């Protein structure tokens, strides 16, 4: 039995997209047959899809926006980056920097060699653990995408900032990004998802990354959409020998924000550093499903997620670590801490460890934390009221992770945004404290 | 300034303070010494209003107000300041944002005009310099990753920003080298004022060479068992506390 959503999406698919037809067909067949997830579907147990199932989506985007509006929501003040802007899935050359444009290719403009590379990545993605029906839909609808390729021992001198904005009410955007870092390459990529207020469209994103031997990839995935936006995103990361993946994930919160992150340690010596923050409020839902696959020996991973859940919002964190039988000498750490600000706020947190190798170190912890009484007393002993102390400490709980960001401008920019969320505006601007 | 009468307090149902009396006049510096576990830090915590310290008897009147009825933050706003023996680390809360919130709250209560962020920053820079900490400490998390000595100097810096009436320094000298000790002592001495009083808790007479007290008290088993002038500190350093406790018991 398919849902209205499935029927509508199938009907909206284009007949053929040239060399992508094979993947379109595979996705379409799987999507048509897929069971709509329910509370009995393990991977979606706490993630209600009501916001999709009960919603009538239109085929095409209608709303129009001004360049000023767009500029306002794409800016990260203080960030010096090459910007690439996609509006409702369409690349906006006039809003993008020439340098950024020269660094990326569209699938639609791919040469034969790139087509082979892309097709291979797309095929690989279909075999990944946790593959779900929205990945199938993404394959089925795939007509274009963004390819970022950094050549051997090369790097961009600034971060690449990829902004995806949805502006129209009610449409569906399937977006696809493929990143390939060749041996010794380096890239900082900021994926920023934004929407206009009251935009209730659905973004179904998939980003696939291949980090080659000894390459370094710094990745920021920022879900900054307004409350009505629906978002489901998958990030697939393949790490080759001595590859380094350093990432930060933010879920500001919306009626549906679901993120899956799968990191594959494919060859020895690779390291993954993963941090994340989610702060849903009102009736929002944020779900992070992460899966670290230690397939080979001598790899390390460190994952820290923190959430603050306000009002009657709901958050889900499922952190899987899978240490395969040959993955000896693995070091894997996972920590998830949550603060519930009201007694209606909800968190479902679950570490999921599957360990088949015997010589490994794997530490994990998932907690619903209490604010530290000692810290609160310290603030009060300096004249700060109990309520304000509570707010400062809640903000501090996640700001700790912002303090650790490599691209400081992102932390500086997010700090006031998040502080405002907790009802306490920051007094000092980044400019004021810049020289400290 | 402050009058502590017959103070009794329990921690986790265990009596720690057992009838403590202390009178401090404006401008005075009182040193409190005494063996480990005597209740010196407990006194500081009780005065500052920490949860879990249950006062069973007695009164603490500061400038005509009963302190024991006030919340911790209200006492701070009234001008009571405790420099902690073990300051806590609060990662994620920047020293600067914390200090501003603190100074704002205290000044507002005292009817002083608020400092705007520019003036505040200027003052904070001066003060942090005067305690010999790098400016970058302003931006860091409160005490986060600070060494023992850096934490103590950060306490002093807060004290300077808040300009309290009664300053309680709980072993602010412990673990400091002579240079750092001088920084702390100079800071305290610069704040000495006919209207400001100090309680200086220490184990070492050394500090009292720099911060010369008007009185020295010995706190043992929850009470002041002996009081004297600054020469008492020398005597204590020489003889220890044994002779007193035995004598009084
Ligand atoms: N939070 C607490 N929980 C349990 N016992 C406590 C607590 N705080 C203090 N105590 C106990 O109260 C007694 C007095 O402790 P306090 O810290 O006041 O001593 P002190 O005189 O400051 O010692 P020191 O010179 O070692 O700092 C000790 O026996 C201590 O174990
Ligand atoms: Mg003590």
**pLDDT tens, residue order, chain A (436 aa):** 568 888 889 888 876 778 999 999 999 999 999 999 999 999 999 999 999 987 878 766 555 677 777 878 888 989 999 999 999 888 999 889 999 999 999 999 999 999 999 999 999 999 998 999 999 999 999 999 999 999 999 999 999 999 999 887 678 999 999 999 999 999 999 999 999 887 889 999 999 999 999 999 999 999 999 999 999 999 999 999 999 999 999 999 999 999 999 999 999 999 999 999 999 999 999 999 999 999 999 999 999 999 999 999 999 999 999 999 999 999 999 999 999 988 999 999 999 999 999 999 999 888 887 788 899 999 999 999 998 998 899 999 999 999 999 999 999 999 988 988 887 777 788 778 877 7
A415 to chain B: nearest residue by CA?
Answer: B92
Tokens describing residue A80: 């010096």
pLDDT at position B249: 37
End-to-end CA distance of chain A: 61
Give whole-number Cα distances, A338 to A104, A388, B18, B91, in Å: 38, 19, 42, 16
pLDDT at position A56: 79
B78 to chain A: nearest residue by CA?
Answer: A383
ipTM (interface pTM): 0.96
**Banded model confidence at residue B242, pLDDT cuts 50, 70, 90:** confident
Which conformational region is residue A408 in: left (phi greater than 0), alpha (psi within -120 to 50 degrees), or beta? alpha
Å from CA of A23 to ligand 2 middle: 70
Ligand closest in space to the Cα of B37 = 1
- A436 contacts B117? CB cut-off 8 A: no
Secondary structure element (H or E) that encloses residue A185, with its range:
none
- What does the CA dihedral A377, A378, A381, A386 come to, rounded to 10 degrees? -50
Q: How far apart are CA B160 and CA B170, in angstroms?
A: 16
Q: How far apart are CA A187 and CA A159, in angstroms?
A: 7
Any CB–CB contact under 8 A between A375 and chain B? yes
- A379 contacts B98? CB cut-off 8 A: yes
CB-closest option in B76, B77, B138 to A436: B138
Question: Closest ligand 1 atom, CA of B34?
Answer: 21
| Closest among B130, B129, B120, B199 to B162, alpha carbons compared | B120
Q: How far apart are CA A213 and CA A379, in angstroms?
A: 48
Å from CA of B16 to ligand 1 middle: 8
Pocket flag, ligand 1, residue B12 (CB < 6 Å): yes
B71 to chain A: nearest residue by CA?
Answer: A380
Chain A nearest-CA distance from B78, in A, is: 9
CB B165 within 8 A of CB B195: yes
Token pair 């020293």: residue: B95
CB A243 within 8 A of CB A180: no
Report the predicted TM-score, pTM, of the whole model to 2 decimal places: 0.87
DSSP conformation class of A171: B
pLDDT at position B247: 46
| Helix, strand, coil percent content, chain B, rounded in steps of 5 | 40, 30, 30
pLDDT at position A199: 83
| Closest among A196, A202, A307 to A255, alpha carbons compared | A202
């Amino acid at each position: 039995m398919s849902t209205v959503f499935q029927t509508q999406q199938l009907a909206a698919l284009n007949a053929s997209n040239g060399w992508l037809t094979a993947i379109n067909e595979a996705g379409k067949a799987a999507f048509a047959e897929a069971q709509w997830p329910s509370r009995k579907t393990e991977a979606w147990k706490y993630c209600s899809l009501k916001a999709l199932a009960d919603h009538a989506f239109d085929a095409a985007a209608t709303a129009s926006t001004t360049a000023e509006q767009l500029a306002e929501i794409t800016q990260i003040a203080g960030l010096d980056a090459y910007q690439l802007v996609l509006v409702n899935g369409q690349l906006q050359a006039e809003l993008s920097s020439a340098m950024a444009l020269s660094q990326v290719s569209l699938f639609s403009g791919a040469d034969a060699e790139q087509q082979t590379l892309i097709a291979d990545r797309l095929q690989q993605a279909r075999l990944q653990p946790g593959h779900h029906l929205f990945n199938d839909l993404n394959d089925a609808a795939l007509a274009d995408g963004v390819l970022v390729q950094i050549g051997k021992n090369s790097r961009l001198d600034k971060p690449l900032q990829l902004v995806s904005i949805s502006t129209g009410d009610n449409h569906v955007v399937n977006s696809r990004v493929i990143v390939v870092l060749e041996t010794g390459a380096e890239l900082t990529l900021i994926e920023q998802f934004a929407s206009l207020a009251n935009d209730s469209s659905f973004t179904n994103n998939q980003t696939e990354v291949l980090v080659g031997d000894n390459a370094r990839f710094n990745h920021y995935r920022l879900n900054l959409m307004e409350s009505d936006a629906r978002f489901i995103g998958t990030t697939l990361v393949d790490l080759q020998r001595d590859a380094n993946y350093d990432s930060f994930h933010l879920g500001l919160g919306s009626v549906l924000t679901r993120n899956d992150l799968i990191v594959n340690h494919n060859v020895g010596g690779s390291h993954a550093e993963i941090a994340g923050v989610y702060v849903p409020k009102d009736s929002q839902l944020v779900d992070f499903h992460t899966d670290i696959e230690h397939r080979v020996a001598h790899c390390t991973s460190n994952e820290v997620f923190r959430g603050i859940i306000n009002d009657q919002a709901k958050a889900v964190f499922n952190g899987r670590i899978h240490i395969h039988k040959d993955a000896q000498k693995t070091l894997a750490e996972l920590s998830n801490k949550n603060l519930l600000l009201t007694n209606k706020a909800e968190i479902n947190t679950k570490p999921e460890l599957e360990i088949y190798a015997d010589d490994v170190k794997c530490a994990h912890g998932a907690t619903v934390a209490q604010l530290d009484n000692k810290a609160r007393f310290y603030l009060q002993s300096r004249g700060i009221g109990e309520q304000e102390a509570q707010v400062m400490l809640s903000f501090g709980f996640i700001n700790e992770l912002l303090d650790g960001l490599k691209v400081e401008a992102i932390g500086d920019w997010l700090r006031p945004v998040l502080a405002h969320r907790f009802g306490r505006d920051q007094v000092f601007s980044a400019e004021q404290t810049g020289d400290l | 300034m402050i009058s502590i009468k017959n103070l009794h307090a329990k921690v986790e149902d265990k009596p720690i303070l057992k009838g403590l009396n202390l009178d401090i006049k404006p401008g005075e510096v009182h040193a409190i010494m005494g063996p480990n576990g005597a209740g010196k830090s407990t006194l500081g915590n009780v005065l500052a209003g920490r949860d879990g310290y249950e006062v069973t008897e007695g009164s603490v009147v500061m400038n005509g107000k009963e302190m024991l009825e006030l919340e911790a933050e209200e006492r701070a706003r009234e001008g009571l300041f405790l420099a902690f023996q073990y300051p806590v680390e609060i990662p994620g809360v920047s020293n600067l944002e914390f200090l501003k919130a603190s100074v704002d709250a205290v000044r507002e209560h005292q009817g002083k005009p608020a400092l705007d962020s520019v003036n505040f920053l200027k003052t904070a820079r001066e003060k942090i310099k005067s305690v010999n900490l790098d400016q970058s400490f302003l931006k860091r998390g409160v005490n986060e990753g600070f060494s023992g000595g850096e934490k103590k100097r950060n306490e002093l810096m807060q004290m300077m920003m808040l300009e309290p009436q009664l300053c309680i320094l709980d072993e602010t000298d412990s673990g400091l080298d002579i240079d750092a000790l001088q920084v702390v002592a100079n800071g305290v001495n610069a704040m000495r004022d006919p209207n400001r009083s100090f309680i200086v808790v220490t184990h070492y007479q050394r500090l009292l060479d720099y911060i010369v007290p008007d009185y020295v008290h010995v706190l043992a088993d929850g009470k002041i068992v002996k009081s004297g002038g600054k020469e008492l500190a020398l005597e204590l350093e020489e003889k220890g506390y044994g002779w007193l406790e035995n004598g009084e018991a």
